[in-house]
Structure 1
Amino acid sequence: MVEWLTMTIQMVSLAMAGWCLVSTFRDQPMLVPHLVGMGVLWLLVIGQAVATVATMVGGDTPAETAMFVSYLATVVLLPPACAVWGFMERSKWGPAVIAFACLILPVLFVRLEQLWSPVA
């Protein structure tokens, strides 16, 4: 896993969560700029997934490979799934869905890091 990319994803995700929470508290629906932000976040996540899979193909794999791959699939699918769900919800709760997903994503990446390099 690329550590600086993981940290970037976590920071962007938390920034998106804050922005969407502000939109929720202002009773604003999800707008196109929210989708663009989620798109950028998703591209970062895909970049991390591609780099990680390339490293795994090169021979460096975590001890619990099946668990790691399931978490990796979850982080890749979470942003687009929640973006679609948030965009379909045309009330103030649309951005709340995105905020929730963006608060979960950094936690999932912490778990991926733990699985990638377990403490001895």
Structure 2
Amino acid sequence: MIEWFVTLQVIVACAAGILCIVLGLVGRLPGDVSMGAVALVELLLLVQLVIAIIAPAAGNPPSGSLAEFYIYLISALILPLAGGFWALIERNRWSTVILGGVCLAIAVMVYRMGQIWFVQGA
């Protein structure tokens, strides 16, 4: 993993989460802005997946459990897809708030993945 990329992911996920929560609380339905923010978070997670596959082969192994790391990563990859699907099926203001909650949960998960990779001893 790349440390600055983890920081970027956490910042983008927090910004997307706050944006979606504010949009939902002012009554906006899921639209291009909220779904685009969630799509950006998902795109960064896909890039993280590629980095996590290549990093151990390039001499950057995790200090913690690789299995635990991948469980977090796969769960984080599923969350925006499930939240976005649900938001498009049940289009109301609370769907946009839920998208914000999904993005904030991903921020926490990415932070934890960084701890597993960089800090936690095996």
Q: Same fold (TM over 0.5)?
A: yes
Equivalent in the alignment of 1:13: 13
In 1, Cα distance between the equivalents of 2:84 and 2:56? 29
**Structure 2 gap segments, 5+ residues each:** none
Corresponding residue of 1:25: 25
Q: Which runs of 4+ in 1 moved over 6 A?
A: none
Structure 1: gaps spanning 5 or more residues:
none
TM-score of the aligned structures, taking structure 1 as reference length: 0.88
C-alpha distance after superposition, 1:17-50 (max 9, x if no partner) = 1111111211221112222222122111111111
Q: 3-state SS of the aligned residue for 2:55?
A: helix
User: What does residue range 68-79 of structure 1 map to in structure 2 within 5 Å?
Assistant: 68-79=69-80
Cα pair distance change 1:92/1:73, threshold 3 Å:
same
Deviation of 1:87 after TM superposition, in Å, equals: 2.0
Partner of 1:100: 101
Of all paired residues, the percent bearing the same amino acid is 24
Matched residues, number: 120
CA RMSD of aligned residues (A): 1.7
Once the two structures are overlaid, the 10-residue window that deviates more, 110-119 or 16-25, is 110-119
Q: Does 1:89 align with 2:90?
A: yes
* Alignment-mate amino acid for residue 34 of structure 1: S
CA deviations on 1:55-91 (whole Å, 9 max, x unpaired) are 1344524441221111111122222221111222211
Aligned to 1:45: 45
| Structure 1 Cα separation of the partners of residues 70 and 56 of structure 2 | 10
> TM-score when scaled to structure 2?
0.86
SS of corresponding position for 1:27: coil
CA distance in 2, matches of 1:119, 1:68: 11
Which amino acid counterpart does residue 42 of structure 2 have in structure 1?
W
**2:62, 2:118 within 8 Å by CA — same for their partners in 1?**
no
What letter is aligned with 1:74? S
